Amino acid sequence: MAKWTKELDEALKTMHGAGMTAKEIGSIMDRTAGAVGQRAFNLGITKKRSEPLPIDLPVYETDAPADVDIDSVAFNLGRTPQYKPTMLERMFNKMLGR
């Protein structure tokens, strides 16, 4: 398949702006609807492209001082962190019958 040129990009923008579907544009340009849709997305002319939304991450408050190991502090999740042995520790414990 031939590469997208500036002329093809401009034609795509014009046809897309006129309300033509990716399938219609693809049949004119001898490309698949998926290729046309992807190029329109890459050019930023589709409604699917939007600026990333700001994400508000939850903040967990603790009564622990700042110098406390964070892994040892239970956050406001209603549960306490638990130690999980590594795979190697589990293998040795199994061999030793623990």
Is residue 53 left, alpha or beta, with left meaning phi > 0 and alpha meaning psi from -120 to 50?
beta
| Spatial separation of the C-alpha atoms in residues 41 and 48, rounded to whole Å | 7
CA–CA separation, 40 and 29 (whole Å): 13
The answer, as to whether pTM is greater than 0.85, is no
CA gap 40, 16 in Å, rounded: 8
Q: Where are the domains of the chain?
A: 6-43
Q: What would the pLDDT profile of 21-58 be if each residue is shown by its tens digit?
A: 999 999 999 999 999 999 998 898 887 655 565 676 66
Q: Give me the phi and psi of 85, to 5 degrees please.
A: -65, 150
Q: pLDDT band for position 10 (50/70/90)?
A: very high
